[in-house]
Structure 1
């Protein structure tokens, strides 16, 4: 009885592999989403496989990128599901639309197309063998919000179809991101409060990135889970009026140190007048640290 059961099982397994089902997809697909339930109806032209196999195949395609062949996909996917599945056509291209547009529109390696929104709620753009996808974005020479026109050209019929998209052209760069919530407490910042992370932004110049200068600033608003911006910071007073301050003179030839009395409070980088404790003369210096001013001759 056991031998009969094993034989039936083997026969069923052989039968499943000897009679493959077939999934026919579009030769070229550009994905706008990773949601398999939305993509199933869009990417599959026809199929005689069961719905579970179709759904599993779409999840497989989501992780596929580039140009390949139906035979190659058939071999890999069939081994994954332990079931013979034939995939057509012969030549297949699968890309994330974000990646494809980034390659076409980015002027540098650090520019990326992100946050694509299609008015018609497209899940993917699919093309036949004789169709090509062209991209039109006149304002994509600089970062920001963009309106992008996709032109699907049919070379055999000489016709065009259009899709209008909205997206962001952003720059990938290093930024300082708080390790936790930074609250307004009127205290200077420190390096330990932040970590360096790669982020996407449309305005890199707005980011504060000088980690060594953090100690000269405090926040003017609570910050959590986002890069710190220049506008988030207020400089703290490093020298205070009437409080003895170290004065440094270094012109590359000689280096002198003395003390002087600031006539007003001043922040990092500001120029301030001081009264010399030796000569009682007024000197002018630039604030470079806590109770420290630099004088250049």
Structure 2
């Protein structure tokens, strides 16, 4: 037992003795765009004698953060702790701001609206500012959906410096859409609710998307639809639900009264279309709306 305790103490001292110190000189404020590839360390680090691996870990932490970061916080992160280095950060406190979140607040987007496909035209992903510098945002048409150009103006009145960075992005609306559970071909024999699921997706024109899952059976695909793609009206072609000359069920409604009968369509009809039918007994022509397979609704 004593041997194990002694070995533990010696290991602790050994680990402590192997910890090295390095410095990272950064900015008081760091504004960044979400980027799956992260960003170049030169964008947020002025100077550093830390190994490249430690600088990359620092980058990753900045990318995950929002709010204040200090030396203590940086050194408490497992990635940094396990690197064998203690980072001395200058300045001691850094303010980290996610630009996407800042755009949402600054331009007062609606709850179900969001920015996406954001990129800086100078191909950077972050802007570092010193204490005396400030950043202002402007966007003329960010109250509408679609592609936008956002101006990020950096000013330093002490140095008489001003520079504008441009960000391109798209304002989307989060809306429910029908998403195929697998890739569907244009030759799909019949569409059914089981082939789709309802999910929220970000789009610029939600009115283009077909959302009535129960009415899928009245249409066929006119092109292939990859898995995960929202179903649009333009992807669908309505099919004939009644055929000319073939007897079909007629539902007559008059106030609260409902009567069922049979009619002979004078033309084929798709869902929602208005067609003429002939009463086979009286030979009288009536007009109704196609509402289902071999079914027409007549409002009297």
TM-score by length of 1: 0.88
Residue 44 of structure 1 aligns to a residue whose secondary structure is coil
Alpha-carbon distance change, 71 to 53 in structure 1, aligned in 2, over 3 angstroms: closer
Aligned to 2:271: 268
Residue 40 of structure 2 aligns to a residue whose secondary structure is helix
Alpha-carbon distance change, 119 to 79 in structure 1, aligned in 2, over 3 angstroms: closer
Q: Distance in 2 between matches of 1:180 and 1:79?
A: 39
User: What is the root-mean-square deviation in Å for CA atoms of aligned residues?
Assistant: 2.6
Aligned to 1:257: 260
Q: Which among 86, 107, 111 is matched to residue 109 of structure 2?
A: 107
Q: Distance in 2 between matches of 1:68 and 1:252?
A: 67
**1:74/1:86 contact within 8 Å kept:** no
Aligned to 2:56: 55
Alpha-carbon distance change, 80 to 120 in structure 1, aligned in 2, over 3 angstroms: closer
Is 1:283 aligned to residue 280 of structure 2?
no
Q: Distance in 1 between matches of 2:8 and 2:224?
A: 68
**1:16/1:84 contact within 8 Å kept:** no
Q: Which among 237, 241, 253 is matched to residue 238 of structure 1?
A: 241
| Structure 1, gaps ≥5 residues long | none
**2:57/2:79 contact within 8 Å kept:** no
Q: Distance in 2 between matches of 1:64 and 1:178?
A: 35
Aligned to 1:209: 211
Q: CA deviation at 1:234?
A: 0.7
Moved more, 126-135 or 258-267: 126-135
Q: Distance in 1 between matches of 2:159 and 2:7?
A: 57
Q: CA deviation at 1:126?
A: 1.5
**2:119/2:125 contact within 8 Å kept:** no
Q: Distance in 1 between matches of 2:263 and 2:4?
A: 100
**1:77/1:85 contact within 8 Å kept:** no
| Structure 2, gaps ≥5 residues long | none
Aligned to 1:194: 196
**1:34/1:62 contact within 8 Å kept:** no
Q: Distance in 2 between matches of 1:116 and 1:94?
A: 18
Alpha-carbon distance change, 56 to 280 in structure 1, aligned in 2, over 3 angstroms: same
Q: CA deviation at 1:176?
A: 0.8
Q: Deviations over 1:87-116 (max 9, x none)?
A: 332432223333322332352012111112
**1:188/1:236 contact within 8 Å kept:** no
Is 1:26 aligned to residue 24 of structure 2?
no
Q: CA deviation at 1:246?
A: 1.0
Q: Distance in 1 between matches of 2:78 and 2:189?
A: 61
Alpha-carbon distance change, 75 to 283 in structure 1, aligned in 2, over 3 angstroms: same
Alpha-carbon distance change, 290 to 2 in structure 1, aligned in 2, over 3 angstroms: closer
**2:75/2:81 contact within 8 Å kept:** no
Count matched residues: 294
Moved more, 221-230 or 67-76: 67-76
Q: Distance in 2 between matches of 1:2 and 1:107?
A: 61
Moved more, 284-293 or 154-163: 154-163
Q: Distance in 2 between matches of 1:176 and 1:296?
A: 32
Q: Distance in 1 between matches of 2:295 and 2:5?
A: 91
Q: CA deviation at 1:76?
A: 2.8
Is 1:247 aligned to residue 250 of structure 2?
yes
Moved more, 242-251 or 48-57: 48-57
**1:106/1:112 contact within 8 Å kept:** no
